[in-house]
Structure 1
């Protein structure tokens, strides 16, 4: 028998990725604490990009109406993956990816729990502001056609009135698991094309399967404020936001962030 000289630390297969995440959490903390205006702008840009590509996806669905539904949904999902690729590669701030980053940072004591929570909530608020800015601009243009508005209305109804809280929770877990597992893998690559590919993979799965992304959903509801406010059941919207938020945290923060933090070192190993 060959002697086994491996130690526990040799099993930390993606330790470099975890160190990269912790470094980014430290930068987020500095940005948030010392230049909050810049942090807000990065969060606004994420919401803006997400809402912008949402409109692109609605246009695809409207213009391909009558074609094979599965194929249209797949094309829309591929198109929407552009949003997260742009957000990640421009280092913008998105709540759902921050669930993973902040959880890893909390596990390694890089950030306190109260600071992590503050960053998450502020990030979410300004993500929504980004959606408002996008739809204010859209409202003064003829871009949103009646067909696109009807597609938006149907999508909102399916996520609110026609969804139970436990269905939303489960779909939200799956959504952010796929998104953050893609981001986690992408961190291991240096070139932009490889990063973009793995980021897009997770997004394509979540969009095609109709999973729940709390920031994407919030952007849809912002759109309805401008195009059909009276058609929205706002209590059901609140139900969706609450359980999508919780589910996204579980999927990205616990199932990816906390899991891989634990698999790649002890909690006090950075001290």
Structure 2
């Protein structure tokens, strides 16, 4: 019996082309929203920052209330608690800067959006994310949710991320953080069931939080919290250092290592037909 050699084309190697098509569709939707409905785009960005900040508070509560237990157990519980934030953000289609790094880099690769417009959307999205964090912590000051133990844990975390960290360490950990976040989102795009999507989205977040990698929006939320609860402990030059290099690292990790790599693996730059 003779077996015929399988005949394949280059297009058969594009194993995640449906993901790329989905991403480009979302890029187009985000672009229209930012252009035509700026208020709604900003509100969706604020929601993302609010969700990250409220889950950061939840994580602080988990860690402080389990104090005295095995440190590894405390860290994994905190990471699982925080992962809920990104699951909510992605499934509600809110706008988060770090996931947009992947989406819009794919759009740039296929030339469906201009660089100038991408930069504008990034800045607007980041501004909205920061505002969301400020709103959350501003509201928290009207409650007793933030205990002295939680404030101490927040201060310790922020000090480690700013004063005790070098710019190179922040950038490399920023690469790792957004690589895991966006690879989780990219895998989740292939899933049809919401539970499966939530699992893969959450998995990437659990890894980055457990390993204490750097996420620029999460960090900005923590800095907002410090402004309300322990302003004097902030070193502003170190805060700026963290934001700048976490931003750069997050873009490399999510935009280049995931967005650009998988865009390249799933088509040529001129494959998109523009009318």
TM-score, normalised relative to structure 1: 0.99
Aligned mate of 1:28, from 22, 27, 30: 30
Whole-angstrom distance in 1 between the partners of 2:255 and 2:38? 23
Deviation per residue, 1:69-107 (Å, 9 max, x gap): 111000000111000000000000000000000000111
Which residue pairs with 1:51 in the alignment? 53
After TM superposition, the structure 1 = structure 2 runs for residues 251-266 of structure 1, keeping only pairs within 5 Å, are 251-266=253-268
Aligned mate of 1:217, from 216, 219, 234: 219
Deviation per residue, 1:94-134 (Å, 9 max, x gap): 00000000000111111111101110111001100000100
Aligned mate of 1:140, from 139, 142, 146: 142
Unaligned runs of 5+ in 2: none
Which residue pairs with 2:15 in the alignment? 13
Deviation at 1:2, TM superposition (A): 3.3
3-state secondary structure, aligned to 1:84: helix
Aligned mate of 2:237, from 235, 238, 258: 235
Whole-angstrom distance in 2 between the partners of 1:245 and 1:139? 28
3-state secondary structure, aligned to 2:270: coil
Unaligned runs of 5+ in 1: none
Aligned mate of 2:164, from 162, 165, 175: 162
Which residue pairs with 1:61 in the alignment? 63
3-state secondary structure, aligned to 1:105: helix
Whole-angstrom distance in 2 between the partners of 1:124 and 1:160? 19
With 45-54 and 4-13 compared, the bigger mean Cα shift is at 4-13
Aligned mate of 2:131, from 129, 149, 153: 129
After TM superposition, the structure 1 = structure 2 runs for residues 172-251 of structure 1, keeping only pairs within 5 Å, are 172-251=174-253
Whole-angstrom distance in 1 between the partners of 2:59 and 2:236? 24
**Cα RMSD (Å):** 0.7
Whole-angstrom distance in 1 between the partners of 2:138 and 2:186? 34
> Runs of at least 4 residues of structure 1 off by over 6 A?
none
Whole-angstrom distance in 1 between the partners of 2:270 and 2:208? 34
Deviation at 1:4, TM superposition (A): 4.1
TM-score, normalised relative to structure 2: 0.98
Which residue pairs with 2:269 in the alignment? 267
Whole-angstrom distance in 2 between the partners of 1:151 and 1:4? 59
3-state secondary structure, aligned to 2:129: helix
Deviation at 1:65, TM superposition (A): 1.1
Deviation per residue, 1:220-248 (Å, 9 max, x gap): 00000000111111100000000000000
Aligned mate of 1:102, from 89, 101, 104: 104
Whole-angstrom distance in 2 between the partners of 1:4 and 1:67? 57
Deviation at 1:3, TM superposition (A): 3.1
